[in-house]
Amino acid sequence: MPCRNAGPMLRPALASAIGQTYPHLEIIFVDDGSSDGSRAIAEDMAKSCARSLTVATAPGRGVNVARNHGLSLARGDYVQWLDADDEIAPSKIALQVVALEADPAMDIAYGDWTTRLYAKDGTMREGRRYLKPAADQIRRTLSLAWYPPGIFLLRRRAADLLAREQGWWPGRPVATDIEYFALAALLGLNFIQVPDSLGIYNIWSPQQISAATPYSLRAMVLKAIYARLVSIAERPDVRGRVRPDHRRLLSQNWDVWALARGSIEQSGSAGGNVTLRHRTTGKTLDVRPREAAVIALIERDDEARFLAHHATEAMARAPDHFADHAEVIFLLERFRRAGLLTRIATSPPPLGSRSEVFY
């Protein structure tokens, strides 16, 4: 459990680890320079904890440095990553251990999660996300479909392999879990879905990593991550499992694109298709009605984004409309090549100042 200023979320996060029904458990809390009393809270809870609860200090700065240090102290046969402001349901680890013990070929178990959104007035809204099994984890992870790292449980051998490959790359300020699990899939680690093994992702502060990181920095980091993944995909030990659609995702366009509201006109065409026409440039493209619906989905959001992030927004608004994020990314790439999207930037804009982040 890496921690930097987890605030009021730390006690429930630690309590969720302590309260696991799985009996053979050690908890390693790694403080990364907290200034809000998080370390003192962990030390206080350790005094009365029947579990093994170690309070350690990160040897440097950054969430990945803290994670790597925690792994170096761990003795268990399985590894659970958990940010200090998230939680896991009581039976989460037990259910996933049973699944991994039943199938020695599997390396990583995963489940569903609940997102809890805490408002300033103290109210909380939550929603359950059901994560379907995926036959192709490389395609899933390269599609920038994000999942909280706490939903996973790894065999120790898998965690050690990823550590040797620097899965938690030191110095990465954001998108660390995207890189970690995409690397796991490329390296051929096998994932198994375990129903009802639930994680809880808490959104509670504008200083959390996802909220506090400017889009320009995320853009720069993701381009660097995918450049690294491209080089890994070319290694002799990896190349054989990388399919053409994986390569399309690895080489996806990383410019920033926008689709202004009302910029695309839709009209019927022969065969029941829809003609999309850019009102300014006159560029056109014939698509199926289901594909045309994506235009309406992303026009609702005026932000300029990567194609993969536009796909994420479209999937969030219509999760049953397409099979996966990759399908939408490939469709948006068609829109881009047809001239229906407007390029805002070919490289990340200036970063400016970066806020302090919590985790």
203 and 78 share one domain: yes
79 and 172 co-located in one domain: yes
- Indicate whether 212 and 332 sit together in one domain: no
Q: Is 300 helix (H, G, I), strand (E, B) or coil?
A: coil
CATH number at residue 329: 3.90.930
The verdict on residue 58 lying in a domain is yes
CATH number where 59 lies? 3.90.550.10
Structure tokens at 272: 């029941």
Q: Is residue 350 part of a domain?
A: no
Kindly give the confidence (pLDDT) of every residue in the chain, 359 residues in length, as a single tens digit, with 9 standing for 90 and above.
999 999 999 999 999 999 999 999 999 999 999 999 999 999 999 999 999 999 999 998 899 999 999 999 999 999 999 999 999 999 999 999 999 999 999 999 999 999 999 998 889 999 998 888 898 999 999 999 888 999 999 999 999 999 999 999 998 989 999 999 999 999 999 999 999 999 999 999 888 877 778 888 888 899 999 999 999 999 999 999 999 999 999 999 988 999 999 999 999 877 889 999 999 999 999 999 999 999 988 888 778 899 999 999 899 888 888 989 999 999 999 999 999 999 987 755 444 445 577 88
- Both 139 and 285 in one domain: the answer is no
* 262 and 212 share one domain: no
Cβ-Cβ contacts under 8 Å for 244 (sequence gap 6 or more): none
Cα(37)–Cα(44) distance, integer angstroms: 11
Three-state SS at 45: helix
Instruction: Give per-residue burial for 299-309: e unless 16+ CB within 10 Å, then b.
Output: eebeebbbbbb
Residue 355: its pLDDT value, please?
A: 56
For residue 231, is it within any domain?
no
Q: What distances in angstroms separate CA 82 from CA 27, 30, 85, 171, 253, one per listed residue?
A: 10, 11, 8, 19, 32
**Per-residue CA distances from 20 to 25, 89, 123 (Å):** 8, 7, 26
28: in domain: yes
Domain boundary among 167, 188, 217: 217
CA distance linking residue 93 with residue 323, whole number of Å? 29
Query: What is the pTM (predicted TM-score) of this model?
Result: 0.92
Q: Give domain status of residue 306, yes or no.
A: yes
pLDDT at 352: 46
For residues 61 and 123, membership in a common domain is answered with: yes
pLDDT value for 176: 95
Strand order in the sheet with 113-118: 87-88, 199-203, 113-118, 124-129
Residues 76 and 130 in one domain: yes
pLDDT of residue 348: 54
Give bridge partners of residue 191 from the DSSP assignment: 108
Q: Within a domain: residue 351? A: no
Classify residue 248: in a domain, yes or no. no
Question: What total of structural domains would you count in the chain?
Answer: 2
Residue-range definition of the domain harbouring residue 310: 256-345
Whether 140 and 288 map to the same domain: the answer is: no
**Residue ending a domain, choose from 186, 217, 248:** 217
189 and 89 together in one domain: yes
Does 211 lie in the same domain as 292?
Answer: no
| Domain membership flag for residue 222 | no
Residue 181: per-residue pLDDT: 97
pLDDT at 353: 47
What is the CB-side half-sphere exposure of residue 159 using CA atoms within 13 A? 22
If asked whether residues 209 and 272 sit together in one domain, one would say no
Residue type, 256: V
Label residues 245-274 b or e (16+ Cβ within 10 Å = b).
bbeebbebbbbbbbbeeebbeeeeeeeeeb
Residues 72, 167: one domain? Answer: yes
